[in-house]
Amino acid sequence: MQFKLLNLATGLLAVTSVQALVIPTSQASTTGVTTSLNNLLAQITSSNNVISKLKSGNSLTTGFTVLGEVTKLVASLTTASTTLGNAPTTTDTTTQEKVCALVKKVTDSATALLTTLNAKLSSLVGGLLAAPLQIVVDLLGTAFSSLQTQVQINSPSCASESDDSFEVISTLLNTLTLTK
């Protein structure tokens, strides 16, 4: 009898432990969104650090480094947009505030990055890598636009504030013309 009770207790404990590990869908989606936005923020910060340390001048090293960093940014932006697009619209205030705060950090960091990028790219206008750089800069603009759309859909409460920031980003991207 004691053995059966022990098995029953062990089984209930195991079931309870497994249930504790199951994350509700909305929480899992929120976690995915915040993780994705945090990863994007980390990539923007990392790229800004790399690009800001580059020497100005029309060198292949500068061009290839910028090309690599902008490509990474496009990938991170695409992942964040996809994650937001697959997540249900956030309805609770706490989640919306968390997402909005992260979006603000992302847009603020992106603005700083694009200012740095603009300064470095001005020396690469018309260079050997101008055409491929222009392509990735255009892709970067598309990726930011996609992220803006997903923010509007997923977190409408912060769309109006973030729209202004995305407009600044769009303006900065439009000034990055590398081909003559």
Contact between 131 and 177 under an 8 Å Cβ cutoff? The reply is: no
Cβ-based neighbours of 106, under 8 Å, separated by 6 or more = 37, 40, 41, 44, 80, 147
Between these two residues, 153 and 8, which has the higher pLDDT value? 153
Ranges 5-9, 43-47, 75-79: which has the least confidence: 5-9
Domain ranges of the chain: 25-174
Q: What are 50-107's pLDDT values in tens digits?
A: 999 988 776 788 889 999 999 999 999 999 999 988 888 767 788 888 888 999 999 9
Q: What are 141-151's pLDDT values in tens digits?
A: 999 999 999 98
State the pLDDT confidence band at 30, using cuts at 50, 70 and 90: low
pLDDT at 19: 36
Q: How many CA atoms lie within 13 A of 90 on its CB side?
A: 29
Q: Which of 31, 130, 116, 21 is nearest to 73 (CA)?
A: 116
Q: Which of 141, 120, 139 is nearest to 63 (CA)?
A: 120
Q: What are 150-159's pLDDT values in tens digits?
A: 988 888 888 7
Largest pairwise CA distance in the chain: 87
